[in-house]
């Protein structure tokens, strides 16, 4: 179903924004983090970014038109999807949500008298409320735009929220461990130059709150050079941070052209074309250099038109089993050789688990079986050029699947270290959205719980998942003799709209061969 893109709150005082320019048009493919529109707020023009992947289905608010914070401005979905909600309903939707909970901690009029309001931001497309895990500033602290203010627990992970303004933290409304709905005030800043700290939140705030706004706006064009030379905290959009990280760029070396010198997507692109990146790249590359993919953009999946036969298969199976029509294939794998690899690694003090070996084998088999490295997107099949494997991690509140990118190109030791790091941060709810989204296939291993065999449900938009059981000694027949071998079951759940049984069987045969002869993982 198409999902709405809502007008975000881009400043603490923003109630509505004007769409200056759409940077994508209806029908365009959008990836999470893409800049989709330029919005005029009450303070400056900023780009808003997509939180999800999909196709821009409908633009509700045109260029030059206003929308209240939280109102749908466009819809995102799979290609060919119908947008259920017509454009007329935007405004009423949002105000209704914050009201019930926000009313208790903060009175509406206080927002204009106490200074600059800090609102609970929306940090994920499904986030309705967030819990303040920890305040990173205390009342009386000076705060600069871009400073991390607090750690917030969302419905997916823990993330830091940043200040949009300079000032002094004058009052904390929502304490640590307390919840606040998206859009509700959680703290107040006394504007720059206002009397310090806790006793300040009085009427005088109304005047100062206007002054800093002007100061910020006036100085916006100049500070471009500042971030490059200070060496302190660098202001950058989430997309710019991610692009810099992916390409090994040192953000402090990039000149920011956004408000207050904020580094935005175009600055990263410019730095790459001008070679600003080269100086910083080698330093960041060295530690992980051995096995990873060469520098540069990760290959985009190839979109292939869906055939008539595949369309009929998709429709008919979807009619039988709503959602994703699964099929299941199970094999037994002899794990003696794989267990030996683990023991050999242990002898030289290298930690490698059976699951690490399975992840590596699953990724290589994925690369060798491109027909299974696909997903369905509307009337197209996306075929991925990378082997990114998700690992199912049980956490207190449920399950999350962080992704090991390019697992086919990494050594077992690197996969082991990355798996442990991702799993540990998943349990602390400290993963970033880009670390648990995407991926070609997931490995779900319940062997450590003594489960011999089970069936896993596919994690959309992926098209397959491996359910791995325990490794156990079993009597099997080899060359007409009964012998004891370490056996393990693997069950593949496949999306029958895009994968057929034979495709899944070929994949499992490749996976079995790699696990039973693990030296093949090296070639």
| Active site members | 496, 500
Which residues lie below 8 Å from residue 421, measured CB to CB, with a gap of 6+?
A: none
Could you write out the DSSP letters of every residue in 83-127?
P-S-TT-HHHHHHHTHHHHHTTT--TTHHHHSSEEEE----STT-
Chain-centre distance of CA 444, in angstroms? 20
| DSSP state for residue 9 in the 8-state scheme | -
For residue 182, the SS3 value is coil
For residue 337, the SS3 value is helix
Other C-beta atoms closer than 10 Å to the C-beta of 32 total 18
Asked whether 256 and 235 are in contact (CB, 8 A), the reply is yes
For residue 34, the SS3 value is coil
Bond before 318 cis per omega within 30 degrees? no
Other C-beta atoms closer than 10 Å to the C-beta of 104 total 9
Token pair listed for 239: 């997309």
Token pair listed for 274: 């001008």
For residue 256, the SS3 value is coil
**What is the rounded CA–CA span in Å between residue 201 and residue 205?**
7
Q: Let me know how long the chain is.
A: 523
Beta strands in 12-108 (DSSP E): 16-22, 29-30, 35-40, 45-49, 54-59, 66-68, 72-77
Token pair listed for 418: 């990355």
**What is the rounded CA–CA span in Å between residue 28 and residue 13?**
32
Query: Furthest-apart CA pair in the chain: how many Å?
Result: 92
Beta-bridge mates of residue 304? 381
Burial class of 78 by CB neighbour count within 10 A (0 to 12, 13 to 18, 19+) = middle
Q: How big is the chain by its Cα radius of gyration, in Å?
A: 26
**What is the rounded CA–CA span in Å between residue 71 and residue 91?**
5
Other C-beta atoms closer than 10 Å to the C-beta of 204 total 15
Chain-centre distance of CA 467, in angstroms? 24
Beta strands in 255-406 (DSSP E): 302-305, 326-334, 374-377, 380-383, 389-391, 393-395, 398-400, 403-404
Beta strands in 242-356 (DSSP E): 302-305, 326-334
């Amino acid at each position: 179903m198409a999902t709405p893109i809502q007008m975000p709150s881009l400043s603490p005082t923003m109630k509505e924004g004007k769409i200056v320019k759409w940077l994508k048009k209806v029908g365009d493919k959008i990836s999470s983090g893409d800049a989709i529109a330029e919005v005029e707020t009450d303070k400056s023009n900023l780009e808003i970014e997509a939180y999800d992947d999909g196709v821009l289905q409908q633009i509700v608010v045109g260029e030059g038109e206003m929308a209240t914070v939280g109102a749908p401005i466009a819809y995102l979905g799979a290609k060919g999807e119908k947008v259920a909600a017509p454009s007329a309903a935007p405004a009423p939707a949002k105000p209704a949500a914050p009201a019930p909970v926000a009313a208790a901690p903060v009175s509406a009029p206080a927002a204009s008298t106490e200074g600059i309001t800090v609102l609970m931001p929306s940090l994920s497309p499904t986030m309705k409320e967030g819990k303040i895990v920890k305040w990173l500033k205390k009342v009386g602290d000076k705060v600069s735009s871009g400073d991390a203010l607090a750690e917030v627990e969302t419905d997916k992970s823990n993330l830091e929220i940043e200040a949009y303004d300079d000032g002094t933290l004058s009052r904390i409304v929502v304490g640590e461990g307390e919840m606040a709905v998206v859009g509700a005030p959680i703290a107040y800043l006394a504007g720059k130059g206002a009397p310090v700290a806790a006793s300040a939140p009085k009427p005088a705030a109304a005047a100062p709150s206007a002054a800093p706004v002007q100061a910020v706006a006036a100085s916006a064009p100049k500070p471009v050079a500042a971030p490059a030379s200070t060496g302190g905290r660098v202001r950058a959009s989430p997309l710019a941070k991610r692009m810099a990280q992916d390409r090994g760029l040192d953000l402090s070396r990039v000149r920011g052209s956004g408000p207050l010198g904020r580094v935005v997507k175009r600055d990263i692109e410019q730095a790459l074309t001008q070679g600003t990146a080269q100086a910083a790249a080698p330093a960041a590359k060295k530690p992980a250099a051995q096995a990873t993919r060469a520098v540069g953009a990760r290959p985009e999946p190839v979109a292939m038109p869906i055939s008539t036969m595949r369309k009929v298969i998709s429709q008919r199976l979807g009619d039988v089993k709503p959602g994703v029509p699964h099929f299941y294939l199970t094999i037994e794998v002899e794990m003696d050789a794989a267990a030996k690899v683990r023991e050999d690694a242990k002898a030289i003090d290298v930690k490698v688990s059976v699951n690490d070996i399975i992840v590596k084998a699953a990724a290589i088999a994925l690369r060798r079986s491109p027909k299974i490295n696909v997903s369905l997107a509307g009337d197209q099949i996306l075929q991925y050029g990378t082997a990114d494997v998700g690992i199912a991690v049980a956490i207190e509140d449920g399950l999350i699947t962080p992704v090991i990118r390019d697992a086919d190109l990494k050594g077992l030791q690197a996969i082991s270290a990355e798996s442990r790091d991702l799993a540990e941060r998943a349990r602390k709810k400290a993963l970033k959205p880009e670390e648990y989204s995407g991926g070609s296939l997931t490995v779900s291993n319940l062997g450590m719980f003594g489960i011999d065999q089970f069936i896993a449900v596919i994690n959309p938009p992926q098209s397959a998942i491996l359910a791995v059981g325990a490794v156990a000694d079993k009597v099997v027949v080899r060359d007409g003799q009964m012998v004891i071998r370490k056996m393990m079951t693997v069950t593949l759940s496949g999306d029958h709209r895009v994968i057929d049984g034979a495709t899944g069987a070929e994949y499992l045969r490749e996976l079995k061969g790699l696990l039973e002869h693990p030296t093949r993982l090296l070639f």
